[in-house]
Amino acid sequence: MACGFHIDARYAAHENPPGHPERADRIRFLLPLAESLAESGIPMIATDRRAGDEDLLRVHSGDHVERMRATAGRSLSLDPDTFTSEASHETALLAAGAALEMVDRVMNGTFACAFAAVRPPGHHAESERAMGFCLFNNVAVAARHLLDAHGLERVLIVDWDVHHGNGTQWAFYDDDRVLFVSLHQYPFYPGTGSVEETGDGRGAGFTVNVPLPAGCDDADYMHAFGSVVDPIARRFAPQFVLVSAGFDAHRADPLGGMRVTETGFDAMAAAVMGIAGASAEGRVVCLLEGGYDLQALRDSVDTVVRRLHAGGAGAAVSGAPGASARRAVERVIEVQGTHWEL
């Protein structure tokens, strides 16, 4: 079975003000990639599915769903970073619907794994509010669908966007069925994601934040994967792996302060596939989050999709982790050691 790739020109219909980093050109620049991937045997997945109220209400409050519905056909400022245009509500429903469709296609065996280049992104959207360029939380909607519609008991979400996925964290903060692991620059927007945020109640230990200092590179990220992400995830033994695949940790990104390259994203994708292969029958769905340098975004998406399709160990990352990254990872091990054997 192949890895599928999804993109849709309609995601460009969501417009932000001029100069906004999360712009429609992100999708337009990625569109030609579908043809290139198809030439390598990676099929395009088309879907007209829109998330319904039932899907959204698994994650968002009724008030939030209604507020977003009221933005249809209107250009509004929801906060200093987050805006709608006339087509934004429809576009957000398509993005969340595509996330649902990708997990269904992988669960029914049509595809081994999938990457969905959706827009607007989602991981900052909380139950009650849109924020951080995000209207609905696509990855959280997909995870709830796997739990409720497919009856899974263990879902892993790996978030490697440079910003902490606060909305995803809070959606599952007291839920031991979802292991949320976030590697992010810290301190940074949105201010959450400290190592001490580990979950609550039965979810204690099932939020794993790996806050990293600015300037971390491929070797630093892979040190975090090898020391924290991989051992915890394999003990959790997920039945499905979702990835909030943001590419704003790339060294060329104008918003982030990290130094990850395509080699690092390749290695992270391979690590995720290794986790999925051990307990989830290889089932992985990646959903696009951030990434604001167009060439870096395209090159990184291309690299990750091809790795998902080819499998294997991934590119070799050279160099050793820096001292500050090692200290950050040691702190995560110290805190998470009360929940996991590390």
124 is an active site residue: yes
The string of pLDDT tens digits covering residues 230-242 is 999 999 999 999 9
Give me the CATH code for the 3-16+30-336 domain, please.
Answer: 3.40.800.20
From 124, 163, 164, 309, the catalytic residue: 124
Q: Given the DSSP bridges, would you call strands 155-159 and 240-245 parallel, antiparallel or unpaired?
A: parallel
DSSP assignment string, 177-237: TEEEEEEEESS-TTS---TT----GGGTT-EEEEEE-TT-BHHHHHHHIIIIIHHHHHHH-
Q: Using an 8 Å Cβ cutoff, are 140 and 120 in contact?
A: no
The string of pLDDT tens digits covering residues 135-151 is 999 999 999 999 999 99
| pLDDT, tens digit only, all 342 positions of the chain | 689 999 999 999 999 999 999 999 999 999 999 999 999 999 999 999 999 999 999 999 999 999 999 999 999 999 999 999 999 999 999 999 999 999 999 999 999 999 999 999 999 999 999 999 999 999 999 999 999 999 999 999 999 999 999 999 999 999 999 999 999 999 999 999 999 999 999 999 999 999 999 999 999 999 999 999 999 999 999 999 999 999 999 999 999 999 999 999 999 999 999 999 999 999 999 999 999 999 999 999 999 999 999 998 888 899 999 999 999 999 999 999 999 988
The residues spanned by each domain of the chain are 3-16+30-336
The model's pTM is 0.98
